[in-house]
Amino acid sequence: MYLLFNNQLIPEDEMLFYRHNRALQYNDGFFETIMVIQGAIRFWPYHQDRIRAAAAALHLDLPPELLHSDFPERLLHLASQNNALHFARLKLKIWRSGAGLYTPETNKADWVATANPASAPASSPLSVGICTHVSTCNSPFSFFKGPNALLYVMAGIEKKEQEKDDMLLLDGQGFVAELISSSIFWKNGTTVFTPALETGCIKGIMRTHVLHWAQQQGLRVEEVKREPEVLQEAELVFSGNVTGLRLIDKINDKPLETNELWLQQLKESLT
CATH number for 169: 3.20.10.10
- Whether 266 and 58 have beta carbons less than 8 Å apart is answered as no
Residues 6 or more apart from 161 whose CB is under 8 A from it?
Answer: none
Q: Are residues 158 and 215 in the same domain?
A: yes
Q: Are residues 261 and 202 in the same domain?
A: yes
Q: Are residues 39 and 134 in the same domain?
A: no
Name the domain count of the chain.
2
Q: Are residues 107 and 138 in the same domain?
A: no
Question: Global pTM?
Answer: 0.94
Q: Are residues 174 and 260 in the same domain?
A: yes
Q: Are residues 132 and 228 in the same domain?
A: yes
pLDDT values of the chain reduced to their tens digit, one per residue, 271 residues: 999 999 999 999 888 877 788 998 999 999 999 999 999 999 999 999 999 999 999 999 999 999 999 999 999 999 999 999 999 999 999 999 998 999 999 999 999 999 999 988 888 999 999 999 999 999 999 999 998 899 999 999 999 999 999 999 999 999 999 999 999 999 999 999 999 999 999 999 999 999 999 999 999 999 999 999 999 999 999 999 999 999 999 999 999 988 888 999 999 988 7
Rounded to whole angstroms, the Cα distance separating 186 from 128 reads 14
Strands 126-130 and 244-251: parallel
For the domain that residue 21 is a member of, what is the CATH number? 3.30.470.10
Q: Are residues 218 and 100 in the same domain?
A: no
